[in-house]
């Protein structure tokens, strides 16, 4: 059914959020089959930062995508437009720290130097 609509639905819109200013950029249509995983980083021109910055891709089907991006952005997960993998994040010694997500410090950009991070070579006390 609705066979002649197939072409129209062959494009899937993705929203993009700047990893530097956190604002939403221009949406990009992806061809079906060329969609990327949610959270994929793509370099786009940010009209607020006035330069090319990595943006996080959020697809229509990523229901919590914007929330996830805002958490990553607010906690300072992005450094130079790159997201450090969770396994490579520093451990956090303070379980009540708002930047502590499952024992890992998400404040990769050091906007909050709390002193809770366990740096390598630091745990020999």
User: What distance in Å separates the CA atoms of residue 38 and residue 49, rounded to the nearest whole number?
Assistant: 23
Q: Is residue 21 a contact point for Zn ion (CB under 5 A)? A: yes
Note whether 18 binds Zn ion by CB under 5 A: yes
Q: What is the dihedral of CA 100, 86, 71, 104, to 10 degrees?
A: 0
Q: Quick one: 11 or 79, whose CB is closer to Zn ion?
A: 79
DSSP state at residue 24: B
Nearer to Zn ion, 56 or 89 (CB): 56
Size of the site for Zn ion (CB under 5 A): 6
CB neighbours of residue 56 within 10 Å:
27
Length of the chain: 125
Question: Where does this chain touch Zn ion (CB under 5 A) — which range of 28-36, 45-53, 71-79, 95-103?
Answer: 45-53
Q: Is 92 in the site for Zn ion (CB under 5 A)?
A: no
Q: Which residues bind Zn ion (CB under 5 A)?
A: 18, 20-21, 46, 48-49
């Amino acid at each position: 059914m609705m066979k002649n609509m197939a072409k129209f639905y062959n494009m899937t819109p993705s929203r993009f959020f700047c990893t530097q200013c956190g604002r939403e950029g221009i949406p990009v249509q992806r061809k079906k089959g060329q969609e990327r995983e949610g959270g994929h980083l793509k370099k786009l021109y940010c009209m607020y930062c006035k330069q090319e910055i990595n943006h996080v891709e959020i697809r229509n089907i990523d229901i919590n995508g914007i929330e996830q991006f805002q958490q990553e952005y607010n906690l300072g997960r992005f450094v130079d437009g790159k997201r450090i993998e969770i396994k490579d994040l520093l451990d956090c010694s303070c379980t009540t720290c708002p930047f502590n997500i499952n024992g890992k410090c998400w404040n990769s950009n050091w906007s909050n130097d709390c002193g809770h991070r366990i740096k390598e070579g630091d745990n020999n006390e």
